Chain A
Amino acid sequence: MKKSLIYLPLAAMAFAACDNTQDLIFDDSAAERLEMGKSEAVEKLTADGGLWAMEYFSNSDERGYVMLCRFSKDGSVEVSVNHEWQTVPYQFNQETSLWEITSDNGTVLSFCSHNDLFHVFSDPFNITGPFAPTNPDRNDEDIDETGYGHSGDYEFQVMQCEDHNTMRLLGKKRSYNIWMHRLASDTDEKAFLDQVMTMTNGIFSNKFPKLFITDKESGEVFVAHSSRGIMNVYPEAGDSITQAREKHFITTADGIRFSSPFKVLRADGSEYEISEFAFTETGGLVSDEAEFSMPIKVGYVELLTSPAYNWTLMPGEGSDDFVELFDSFVAEHDAAYRSMRFRSLVFGYDSKTQKYSMTINEIGRHIMPTYYRQSSVNDGVLLFNISKTDANNNGLARLNKLPALEQLMDMFNDNEFTITTISELCPSELTLTSTENPELYFKLNLE
């Protein structure tokens, strides 16, 4: 009886072997799934016109670049760029090359034939030209990148992303996250890239190198420097060397995005992460974690009463009434002073007299006519208060000879002006509008 018990497991094994209902982990074979992944990637890339904005990072020492890629089903891709790594920097250019989806490392997008505009980030040559990296410790001598170049990827693993209009790629060698966002097929590539460049140039400027970031959670304020796409951040009261963290980022049409979450070090040693900032309507930057601001927090009018900045008024930049008045002054000036023609009107600060000034910038090497002003700010409104008597000799001479100049100065002095700008972080262009007559306005540009 006991011996017969050994047959029970055998019997169980025999019948269990007939059970073919075991669940499979995958419905299809590995080869079929790879082919399916390739097909899905091709379909997604080429759908709806196949135009994508690629947010590309090549290495950790330079900013990211937006490039547009139009993928066609025939295996060609048209790449559009306006980056600086071309024969003519920042020029809009397009070039067609080949792409394919392979499966050598999961599903892989490969830009498999050389495209001068795209593979410039992967070519292993020494980087040359006006934007080539230099080493400040060795008198800014050229850094030899031969064998490396920008070290950028041109093959990317296609990562799973359910959103039909978004694709996440992972650089095959450098492992940077490269995001692609679908654009409408009829998007004007040049206009799109021009807009991104405008945002790139307009959001940060070496004229305003120091900005503030406020940590929303702790309220702590950090100093931020953003040089050529690399942000350097440290606590306002902290050490700019030991507590500084830096990260490269890309400016897109919607804001800025770091190559990976930026861990900012608080004064108490804790950290918080920022992945991206979105543009506000006024040209600011804000995220769920933090917010950018200018060092001058009370308003832009202070910029006009700051000794650090000179503002230029060029002919033709204002409302019709203003332009008419200004043009008549310029015509009168140039008729009276043919060898010292008018160039611009400059509002600045005269360090010799330590007074705010308005200077007529003329052609020639003489003392420029200058009028001193006692500009003031009340409730965010600017009063020019330009003196007609407190001026240098040339200034008084012009005033005596040019009635239109007196009319122009009266216009400045008789109005109060509010100040607006298109970018609150980089207000290099200001619009001054009369509070009494909103139809009267003019523009000032930072020198």
Chain B
Amino acid sequence: MNFRKYIMLSVTAGFLAMASACSEDDLGPTIFPDVSDDADPTSYTYKFDTWINREYRDVYNLDFKYKMEDVEADMNYNLVPASYNNARDLCLLTKYLWFDAYKELAGVDFLKQYGPRILHLIGSAAINPSSGTEILGLAEGGLKVTLFKVNEMDLLNFNQLNEYYFRTMHHEFGHILHQTKSYPTDFNLLSTGRYDDGSWQNKAIGYVASLGFITPYASSQAREDFAETIANFVTRTDEAMELIKWMAAQGWSTGVEASDDPAQDADKPYYCRYYYADPQNPEDRTYFLSSVEKDPDYRPAVVGMNGEYLHSVAEVEAYLDKLAERYDIHSVEDEDTVDGLDLINQKQQIVRNWFKEQWKIDFDKLREIVQTRQRNFDIEALRAEIDAIPDPVIGE
């Protein structure tokens, strides 16, 4: 390379340096508006917003969205926002029954580390018109939990609260936890081949319990089975758990010959007892004693022959004893080759071990704490926490 070329290269480099050096380096004002993180003191919801910031955002880095944001939901569903009063009450109950329960058991850092980052409330259920199913809750990516049907919340009906909200929040948190640390694959193997994602909603709780599922929804997929096992164990009353396990130990029959389509059979009622209307004719069986996951009072129940709802094992046994005075009652043969009660207990044990090994949490103790809190919450006292927020100072 001769000297002339060096000069040319130097000139070229000089021009390029000039071209780039002319751009301004000074930063202008921020393009983002200056927005305060504090609750707006002029807002109608100032006290509630301040309480949320104090109890959720500042402690758990959690954004509690009680004003529905449709971009946070599935736009394919027709959804509506939660009413302000119901959203406020569920916000209080969520903290008391979920966050404070884990805090009491595992310390505040547990949910700081593993809790969701977004809680989103929606007023209606997400209804699927084709199947008639309703989504009551969603957990996404280990970060976001959505609770639905908030506008139907009835604080005077514990069973309804348990059915739609308490159980749902623990179900969804179960998902959050297993989305963070996987559960043992052994769990999936316990009911392999018996999950039915298409027609679980048509199945009676007694029938699925005898197959080893704690609820019909648990029979949809393994991961839902896992979350349902957690949520039902934690939130169901002793009475309800005993009744479901009693159902799991029964044989169930539709009383008619099975069709070629198992999905159609799912629609039929299943019974666990029968008697002979005509003792001389052993073919003439009259089947009775069915089951529902939630009766009109939102409780799991065994249903008597005249539509009576029986909510405990003791009630069922007393009912059968009385009928036995008139009829020769027989149990339906358990022909499904599955020990449903044993399976449910095995699943609970896997969950118990998983909580202990992965999360250092005593699952039984968690149930005890949640049960105590469920029985004893005082909504007025909880609301008083919001009322106690000092009035805003405006104009300073």
Contact = CB atoms under 8 A, between A and B. Distances in A.
Interface of A: 3, 7, 10-11, 13-14, 17-18, 20, 29-32, 35, 72-76, 97-98, 100, 102, 104-105, 110-116, 119, 122-125, 146-149, 151, 154-155, 172-173
Nearest to A39: B33
Given A113-B81, A113-B83, A147 B127 contact: yes
A151 B124 CA distance: 13
Nearest to B133: A147
Contacts, number: 111
B129 A122 contact: no
A136 B350 CA distance: 56
Contact of B67 (A35, A100, A149): A100
A79 to B, nearest CB: 13
Given A112-B81, A119-B81, A124 B70 contact: no
Nearest to A34: B33
A114 B81 contact: yes
Contacts of A151: 78
Contacts of A116: 83
22 contacts: A7-B11, A14-B15, A17-B22, A35-B33, A76-B44, A98-B45, A104-B69, A111-B81, A112-B69, A114-B83, A114-B86, A115-B83, A119-B81, A123-B80, A124-B79, A146-B129, A147-B78, A147-B127, A148-B78, A148-B129, A173-B70, A173-B75
Contacts of B80: 114, 119, 122-124, 154
A147 B129 contact: yes
Interface of B: 8, 11-12, 15-16, 18-20, 22-24, 31-33, 40, 42-45, 66-71, 75, 77-84, 86-87, 123-125, 127-129, 132, 151
Contact of A149 (B8, B19, B70, B78): B78
B44 A119 contact: no
Contacts of A14: 15-16, 18-19, 22
Contacts of A155: 70
Contacts of B86: 114
Given A7-B11, A114-B80, A172-B70, A146 B44 contact: no
A311 to B, nearest CB: 47
A193 B193 CA distance: 61
Contact of A112 (B20, B68, B78): B68
Contacts of A7: 11-12, 15
Nearest to B123: A114
A195 B83 CA distance: 30
A18 B15 CA distance: 12
Given A13-B19, A113-B81, A114-B83, 7 more contacts: A10-B15, A11-B15, A17-B19, A76-B44, A113-B66, A146-B127, A147-B127
